[in-house]
Amino acid sequence: MATVLEQSNTNTLELIPQAFEAQKDYFTTRGPSSFSERIQTLKKLESWIVNHKEQIREALFSDFKKPHLETDITEILPVLQEVKHVKKSLRKWMRPSRVPTPITMLGSKAEVIYEPKGVTLIIAPWNYPFQLLVGPLISALAAGNTAVLKPSEMTPATARLISNMAREVFDPQEVVVFEGAVEVSEALLALPFDHIFFTGSPAVGKIVMRAAAEHLTSVTLELGGKSPVVLDETTLVKDAAEKLMWGKYLNNGQTCIAPDYALVPEKMVEPLVTAMQDSLKKHLDPEGEGIKNTGNYARIVNDRHYQRLTGALQEAVAAGAKVVVGGETDDQENYLSPTVVVDAPEDISLLNDEIFGPILPIRTYKEIDDAIDYINKKPKPLALYYFGKENQRKRRLLSRTSSGGVVSNDVILHFAHAELPFGGVNNSGIGKAHGKWGFMAFSNEKGTLHQNRNFSMAKMTYPPYSNRLRKMMDTMMKYL
């Protein structure tokens, strides 16, 4: 079987059910792996990553000219950090947790056992194509599962590298990769996996959830949406401009938690825009050679997304919006410079669809409740950002809006915090990832009660039902 499965790291659709069955057999026969087996597996993965840093950088550069150092910061470091955190904490997470005994359960003991779900499927997007596949894989392996991996077809060099990684590090009965596009996803989604971990758009998330419903497979959906930024009079403008621009040019704005639009008091727009221009000059074009030529700025992943983004910008300008920062394009390279837009009317794509690129529209507001209403009219975002130090206003903003995560006075960094759950809410996602939460997503929390032999409090309630039992029940219901 291993030879057949080794071939399955190609696009062969027919091998998908076979690979699934092989993992199922392996998982069922072996049973849950021990702590030391999981640590060994994670160490193998970790050392492959450490020894292939250059290949990872090259794959990402080939896919969308991602600068090597940006690959280190956003693809390699996060997964190495995740493995390290898991290795340190796994023994504690795996340990069954004892729970207190309520009076009605006297004589028994109870615990929660974290068992692996079994054969799992991980489907990844293209925007952080290495870490968004390897990160969930670390959680799946930590929780003792096997995994079938489906990288994105839009970043083929990274997909190929991930296939090689799986071949070199794992037995295919443990981890196997299927490269390809929608037809591969569809073939995989037809199978009764024990858990599906999907990262991608809300539209495809719905397709995944529908397919999972057929088998009542549990899902983690890491989706996207429009993540707002709220500034107020207490914002340090230069600091906010610098951080917001970073959130927009990192990975060319192709980040699920990139600031999508900014809500700003009217009188702050001008100084903010000036500070944004200064910040771009300082960080992306210090020598004045043009952002395009610096090698510090990735490209839009493909023509389709380039056309989508430049089309949205043209639509905005035609509808009366003003480009106040950037707006330079180069069709030959899928290059769009970091761009800021003001005065955009409400009914255009930039203010309704997830931007997922280096464009930031700024909208003005008067009272904080207007900003809250505006945010609440849209689906719940993946992240919400507040810049300022007005605690009451911040608390109001946080308590009156719902989002997957929140950062105040920065952007994106909650993703990198090992102790925080990461994920969305409703339209921006279901379930959480990273660290302990990733481990839990891939585990079944099995409530386990250990009763004594020849004893049970419940025996007192067995029929025949008597007046004595009636009195006892009345007392219990009164005092419990």
Helix (H, G, I), strand (E, B) or coil at 386: strand
E strand or H helix that includes residue 263: strand 261-265
Helix (H, G, I), strand (E, B) or coil at 101: coil
Task: Provide the minimum distance between the beta carbon of 209 and ligand NAD in the complex, in angstroms, as a whole number.
Answer: 11
Can you say whether the dihedral through the CA atoms of 250, 254, 259, 261 is positive or negative?
positive
Q: Are 383 and 407 in contact (CB under 8 A)?
A: yes
Decide: is 74 part of the binding site for ligand NAD (CB under 6 A).
no
- Residue 148, beta-bridge partner list: 121, 176
Q: Please choose, out of 179-187, 236-244, 245-253, 471-479, the segment that lies near ligand NAD by the rule CB under 6 A.
A: 179-187
Report the residue from 15, 60, 124, 397 that binds ligand NAD according to the rule CB under 6 A.
Answer: 124
Decide: is 256 part of the binding site for ligand NAD (CB under 6 A).
yes
Q: Is the peptide bond before 464 cis (omega within 30 degrees of 0)?
A: yes
Decide: is 80 part of the binding site for ligand NAD (CB under 6 A).
no
Report the residue from 89, 108, 201, 294 that binds ligand NAD according to the rule CB under 6 A.
Answer: 201
Q: How far is CA 255 from CA 180, 338, 386, in A?
A: 22, 14, 18
User: How do strand 119-123 and strand 146-150 relate by DSSP bridges?
Assistant: parallel
Decide: is 204 part of the binding site for ligand NAD (CB under 6 A).
yes
Q: Please choose, out of 4-12, 85-93, 121-129, 307-315, the segment that lies near ligand NAD by the rule CB under 6 A.
A: 121-129
- Rounded Cα gap, residues 443 and 218, in angstroms: 11
SS3 content of the chain, % helix, strand, coil (to 5): 50, 20, 35
Decide: is 413 part of the binding site for ligand NAD (CB under 6 A).
no
Task: Provide the minimum distance between the beta carbon of 128 and ligand NAD in the complex, in angstroms, as a whole number.
Answer: 6
User: How do strand 261-265 and strand 359-365 relate by DSSP bridges?
Assistant: parallel
Report the residue from 23, 145, 173, 185 that binds ligand NAD according to the rule CB under 6 A.
Answer: 185
Q: Which of residues 317-356 bind ligand NAD (CB under 6 A)?
A: 354, 356
Helix (H, G, I), strand (E, B) or coil at 387: strand
Decide: is 152 part of the binding site for ligand NAD (CB under 6 A).
yes
- Rounded Cα gap, residues 402 and 309, in angstroms: 27
Roughly how many angstroms between the first and final C-alpha of the chain, as a whole number? Answer: 58
For ligand NAD, the closer CB: 33 or 163 = 163
Decide: is 127 part of the binding site for ligand NAD (CB under 6 A).
yes
Report the residue from 116, 125, 326, 405 that binds ligand NAD according to the rule CB under 6 A.
Answer: 125
- Residue 112, beta-bridge partner list: 97, 447
Decide: is 16 part of the binding site for ligand NAD (CB under 6 A).
no
Q: Which residues of 455-473 are buried (b: 16+ CB within 10 A; e: fewer)?
A: eeeeeeeeeeeeeeeeeee
Decide: is 386 part of the binding site for ligand NAD (CB under 6 A).
no
Report the residue from 123, 147, 372, 441 that binds ligand NAD according to the rule CB under 6 A.
Answer: 123
Q: Please choose, out of 76-84, 194-202, 323-331, 334-342, the segment that lies near ligand NAD by the rule CB under 6 A.
A: 194-202
Task: Provide the minimum distance between the beta carbon of 418 and ligand NAD in the complex, in angstroms, as a whole number.
Answer: 16
User: Which amino acid belongs to residue 50?
Assistant: V
Q: What is the DSSP string of 117-186?
A: --EEEEE--SSSTTHHHHHHHHHHHHTT-EEEEE--TTSHHHHHHHHHHHHHHS-TTTEEE---SHHHHH
Catalytic residues: 222, 256
Q: Please choose, out of 3-11, 80-88, 99-107, 182-190, the segment that lies near ligand NAD by the rule CB under 6 A.
A: 182-190
Token pair listed for 16: 């998908």
Question: Closest by alpha carbon to 355, among 338, 332, 371, 376?
Answer: 338
Task: Provide the minimum distance between the beta carbon of 324 and ligand NAD in the complex, in angstroms, as a whole number.
Answer: 25
For ligand NAD, the closer CB: 176 or 275 = 176
Task: Provide the minimum distance between the beta carbon of 385 and ligand NAD in the complex, in angstroms, as a whole number.
Answer: 15
Decide: is 178 part of the binding site for ligand NAD (CB under 6 A).
no
Decide: is 222 part of the binding site for ligand NAD (CB under 6 A).
yes
Question: Closest by alpha carbon to 427, among 127, 225, 227, 132?
Answer: 225
Q: Please choose, out of 16-24, 196-204, 457-465, 470-478, the segment that lies near ligand NAD by the rule CB under 6 A.
A: 196-204
Decide: is 77 part of the binding site for ligand NAD (CB under 6 A).
no
E strand or H helix that includes residue 218: strand 218-222
Report the residue from 93, 114, 126, 249 that binds ligand NAD according to the rule CB under 6 A.
Answer: 126
Report the residue from 200, 265, 361, 438 that binds ligand NAD according to the rule CB under 6 A.
Answer: 200
Task: Provide the minimum distance between the beta carbon of 344 and ligand NAD in the complex, in angstroms, as a whole number.
Answer: 20
Q: Please choose, out of 28-36, 100-108, 221-229, 455-463, the segment that lies near ligand NAD by the rule CB under 6 A.
A: 221-229
Residues in contact with ligand NAD by CB under 6 A are: 123-127, 132, 150, 152-153, 181-182, 185-186, 199-201, 204, 207, 222-224, 256, 354, 356, 382, 424, 429
